[in-house]
Chains A and B, each alone.
Chain A
Amino acid sequence: MRGNALQLGNVVKQTVLLLASFLALVPTIYMVVTALKSDEEYAIDKLGPPDAPVLDNFYAVLVESPFLHWMLNSTILVAGSVILSTTISVLGAYAIATMRFRGRDTLLAVSTSLMAVPPVVMIVPLFVLYTRLGMVSTYFGAILIYAGLITPFSVYLLVTFFRTVPRELYEAAHIDGAGQFTILMKVVLPLSLPALVTLVVVNSLYVWNDLLIAIIFLQDDAKRTLMAGISVFSGRYNNQVPLTMAGMVIASAPMFMLYVLFQKQFIRGLMSGAIK
C-alpha cells in the first residue's frame, strides 16, 4: 500500500519536473528549430521539425550582418569593465576586510546598499555629463559606468570572503616580513580564486546582457553592443523569422556554451548574484 502511494508520488513528481523542464526549454527549442528552416518552410510549418534543414540563415548572420562586430564590442566592454571593477574591488575589499580605518564601516554599508539602486536612476545626469565631456559613444565612458554598477556587489562578495581567511595566515606572513600588498597578492588572492571566478562570471554576464546602458551611452553604430544590436536586428528583419532566430542562436551561443562548461560556477555565482 505504502509502496503504491510512494510510486504514485514519484510519478507525480517526475511529471511536474518534466513539465517544468519542457517549459524551460521550449523557447530554445523553437529558436534552434526555426533557425534551421527556410523562410518558405516556416511560413507553412511553424511548429514541426525542419524537413530540409538549411544553414543559410546562420551564414547570413555570421557573414552578412554585423553580429560578430557587435559581439566584439560587447567583449571589449565586458573585458574592460570586469578588469577595472575587479581590480578596484579587490583593493577596496582587502582594506575593508583586513585594515582598521575611520569610515570603514560606513563605506561598506554605503557600498552594499548601492547594490539595490536601479541603474535607470543614474542615466539622466551621467548622459548629460558625458555629452558635455564628449564621452557619449566611447568605450571608456561605458566601461566606467559598467564598472561602477558591478562594483558594489563585488566588494560585498570579496569582503565576505576575505573575512573568512584565517587570522593565523596573516600573522604568519607578517612575521615573515611581508607587507600588506604582498600578503594580498601572495596569500589572499590565491585563496580567493573560487570567489574571484564567481565574481568574473556574474559580472561578465551582467555587462554582456545589459541593454539600457548600451542603448544610451553607445549610440554610435560602430560601437553597438550585441544586445543593442539584437533589438536593431530583430526590427530590421522582423518578417524573416528564421533569419532572426538564427541571429538569436548565435547571440546566445557564447553564454550557453559557458553555462554548459561551467555550470557549477554559474549557478553558484548567480545564487550569490541574486543578492544584487
Chain B
Amino acid sequence: MTKSAYPMLTRRNLMLTSAMLAGGAALGGISKGATAQAKDMDMWYWGEQELPGLQKYVNDSVAKYNAATVKPMLQDTAVVISQFQTAAAAGNAPDVQYLWNGIYHMESVWLGYIRGLKSLIKPDVLAASNPTLLSHFGGDVYRTGWYPLPMFWCYNKTLFEKAGLDPEAPPKTWDELLVACDKLKSSGVEALGGGIQDGYWSEWYITHSLPQQLDSFSEAVELFIGDRDFREPKYHEHWVKLEELKKKGFLNKDMSSLELYPGIDLVVAGKLGIGQSIGTRLPADSKATGGKIGYMTMPVFGKGKLAATPVVDVQGLGISKDAEDPAVAAAFLEFLQSPDQLKAFWEATSWLPSNTSFDPSVIQDPSVRGLWQNWGLKPNISNVTNLVPGQFYERAAIPTGQQIVAGSMTGEQAGELAANTAKEWKEFNPDMVENYRKWAKDLSSPT
C-alpha cells in the first residue's frame, strides 16, 4: 500500500474518538468506583425550564442515592417526547423518563414503551404522589407524580381595590367578570389578558374554559378525535366568549406580540388586572407584590359538571420497557417520594412536591399555602389540553386563541378549525383512534 492518506485520516479520527471515549470512561470510572456493586440507570427529565432549581435537586439527589448510579440528562423542551419515543422504538429508552401528563405519555403507553407501576411501586406511595386520573389506562397506573402545577386565573389585588372591586371576592360568573373588566378599564388599567405570541396562553385558555361545558374528560377525548363535533355551539362557546372579550376591548393591546411569562409579569407589575398563571410562579410573584396576587377559578359561563373546578396538573416520572432492572428503577422513584426527599425538593425549588403527605405548614407565604389547600388538597381536575394529540395542539389549540385575540377569527370559525383538525388527525393517525376510545372510558368519572 502506498503512503496514502489513510493513516492520517484514521489517526485523526482515532484521536478524536479516543479522546472522547477516554474522557467518558474516566467520568464513568469515577462514579462507578464510588459504589462497588452499584447498578446503572439512566434518567431523562425536563422541568428546570419551568422550575428553576430542579436540575440542582436532581443532581444532588442522584449523588446522595447509593442503591444505584443514576445518570440524569436534562432534555430540551421541543424534543421531550420524540426523543424518548424514538429511543424506545430502537430499544434504547432510559430507565426513568419524565412524563408530561395525559396524551404526552399515554401514547407511549399504547406503543408499549412504558411499564405499568402497580406491580412495581408500593400502592400507598403511588397514590400519595397523585399521578392523576390521566395516568390511568386499562386498570394500571403509569406514572408517579413528581410536582404539581396548579393552574388558575390570577389577578392583581391592588388594581382591584383601585377599581372599586373587592380583592377577596373575585368574580365568580361570566357576567361578574364583564362588570369587573369594565371597572378595571374605567380605572385606567388594561383589564385582562397577558401574552399569546408563543401560543401557550391559548392552550391555558382552553384548559380553564373548555371543561366548563363538559361533564367528564371522556367527552373531551371524543371531541379531540372527532367523535364529537366542535361545531356544536356548546363546544365552541368558550371561543365565542374569548371573542367577546376581544370585541369589548378588555384584552391588552400588545397581547399578540408578547410571550406568556412577560404577559404574567404585566399582572405582577400592576399593568394588567387579570391574567392566567401557574402555581410555580406564585411564590416569587407573591413576594414581589407583598401578597397582592390573587387566584381564582375561571368565572363560570358553562353548564357542565366540571365548571368551577380548580385545575391541578401534575408532572410525573415513569419507567420504560427498556429498563434493565425495573425494580431498581422503582426503588429510585420510591426514594424520590420519601419524606427527606420531599423536604429537599421544597428547599431546592421553593415549590411543592406532589405528595399528599407533604406537610404544608412549612409554607410561609399564606397565598401559596392557601393555593395548595384549595387547589391541591381539594377535588380538582387535570389540564384538559393534556388529552390533545400533538397535531391538534399545534394546528388548533394554539392558533385558535392567537387568531381570535388578533381579531382575525371568530369563535365559530375556531370551532370549525378545531373540528377540521380533529378530522385531519384521524386521517393521519388511524392506528391511534381505538386507543383513544378505550382511554375515554377510563376518564368518564368527573375527577
Contact = CB atoms under 8 A, between A and B. Distances in A.
Interface of A: 80, 83-84, 87-88, 91, 127-128, 131-132, 134, 136, 139-140, 179-181, 215-216, 219-222, 224, 228, 232, 235-236, 238-239
A239 B12 contact: no
A235 B198 contact: yes
Contacts of A221: 73-76
B257 to A, nearest CB: 11
A238 B262 contact: yes
Interface of B: 2-5, 8-9, 12-13, 16-17, 20, 49, 73-76, 78-79, 83, 86-87, 89-90, 92, 198, 259, 261-262, 265
B12 A181 contact: no
Given A84-B13, A179-B2, A181-B4, A239 B87 contact: no
Given A91-B5, A140-B16, A239-B259, 15 more contacts: A84-B12, A87-B12, A131-B86, A136-B83, A180-B2, A181-B3, A181-B4, A215-B78, A219-B76, A219-B83, A236-B49, A238-B261, A238-B262, A239-B262, A239-B265
Interface centre among A179, A215, A235 (most CB of B within 10 A): A235
Given A87-B9, A88-B9, A140-B16, A219 B2 contact: no
7 contacts: A127-B86, A128-B86, A139-B20, A180-B2, A181-B2, A181-B5, A235-B259
A216 B86 CA distance: 12
B185 to A, nearest CB: 23
A91 B5 CA distance: 7
A112 to B, nearest CB: 21
A131 B90 contact: yes
Contacts of B8: 87
A179 B4 CA distance: 10
Contacts of B75: 219-221
A181 B9 CA distance: 13
Given A84-B12, A221-B75, A140 B4 contact: no
B135 to A, nearest CB: 25
Given A87-B12, A140-B16, A236-B49, A131 B87 contact: yes
A155 B55 CA distance: 45
B5 A140 contact: no
B86 to A, nearest CB: 4
Interface centre among A91, A140, A239 (most CB of B within 10 A): A239
A83 B12 contact: yes
B92 A134 contact: yes
B92 A224 contact: no
Given A131-B89, A134-B92, A239-B262, A140 B20 contact: yes
Contacts, number: 66
A222 B27 CA distance: 15
Contact of B79 (A80, A84, A219, A232): A219
Contacts of B3: 179, 181
A72 to B, nearest CB: 14
B37 to A, nearest CB: 26
A200 B23 CA distance: 27
A239 B198 CA distance: 13
Interface centre among B5, B20, B75 (most CB of A within 10 A): B5
Contacts of A180: 2
B92 A131 contact: yes
B200 to A, nearest CB: 11
A89 B73 CA distance: 36
A236 B76 CA distance: 13
A157 B62 CA distance: 51
Contact of B76 (A140, A181, A224): A224
Nearest to B9: A87
A232 to B, nearest CB: 7
Contact of A232 (B5, B76, B198): B76
B252 to A, nearest CB: 14
Contacts of B261: 238-239
A239 B17 CA distance: 42
A134 B73 contact: no
Contacts of A136: 83, 86-87
Contacts of A216: 79
A239 B197 CA distance: 13
Give 7 nearest A-B pairs by CB, closest first: A239-B262, A131-B86, A221-B74, A132-B90, A91-B5, A219-B79, A238-B259
Given A221-B76, A235-B198, A80 B16 contact: yes
Nearest to B13: A84
B12 A140 contact: no
A88 to B, nearest CB: 7
A140 B265 contact: no
A192 to B, nearest CB: 16
Nearest to B44: A220
A236 B262 CA distance: 10
Contacts of B17: 140
A192 B8 CA distance: 19
A232 B77 CA distance: 9
A274 B90 CA distance: 40
Interface centre among B75, B90, B262, B265 (most CB of A within 10 A): B90
A131 B89 CA distance: 9
A134 B90 contact: yes
B13 to A, nearest CB: 7
Contacts of A235: 198, 259
B273 to A, nearest CB: 18
A106 to B, nearest CB: 21
A181 B6 CA distance: 11
Interface centre among A128, A179, A220 (most CB of B within 10 A): A220
A87 B89 CA distance: 36
A131 B84 CA distance: 10
Contacts of A127: 86
Contacts of A134: 87, 90, 92
B34 to A, nearest CB: 21
A87 B6 CA distance: 10
A156 B17 CA distance: 28
